[in-house]
Amino acid sequence: DVKVTQSSRYLVKRTGEKVFLECVQDMDHENMFWYRQDPGLGLRLIYFSYDVKMKEKGDIPEGYSVSREKKERFSLILESASTNQTSMYLCASRLQGGVSPLHFGNGTRLTVT
């Protein structure tokens, strides 16, 4: 069974702090994704990565960056957290190509005060 693990379930940070959200998958998946989930807006794609050292902007990359130094780990970085980044963050991974579905972690609920 694929396991996608997000390091924190809940985080509370202050405005202006640098925040790291970590995600690890154990199935050697090439592709990894960060989404944020907000009520009524569904999931919106922030960044994704096709493979190690690769990264692509999603639909809402502003205020975020990512790092993929190892295949199993994909980190989301909030350079200077703001209150409008309070949200649920979901990490996902998939095998390259075809119908391979996304496998999701349980999410990190981030509150920025």
Greatest CA span in the chain, whole angstroms? Answer: 41
Q: Which two tokens stand for residue 89?
A: 């963050």
Best CA proximity match to 60, nearest among 46, 81, 71: 46
Q: CA 89, 91, 94 angle in degrees (round to 5)?
A: 155
- Establish if 104 lies at the interface with other proteins (CB under 8 A): yes
Site for other proteins in 3-22 (CB under 8 A): 4
Q: Which C-beta is closer to other proteins: that of 18 or that of 71?
A: 71
Residue 49: Cβ-neighbour burial (10 angstroms; 0-12, 13-18, 19+) = buried
> Using an 8 Å Cβ cutoff, are 2 and 25 in contact?
yes
Minimum gap (Å) between residue 45 Cβ and other proteins: 6
> In this chain, which of 12, 14, 17, 41 binds other proteins, going by CB under 8 A?
41
Asked if 58 touches other proteins (CB under 8 A), the answer is yes
Q: Is 35 in the site for other proteins (CB under 8 A)?
A: yes
Q: Does 48 bind other proteins (CB under 8 A)?
A: yes
Q: Does 43 bind other proteins (CB under 8 A)?
A: yes
Backbone angles phi, psi at 105, to 5 degrees: -80, 175
Residue numbers of the site for other proteins (CB under 8 A)? 4, 31, 33, 35, 40-45, 48, 50, 56, 58-59, 90, 92, 96-97, 99, 101-107
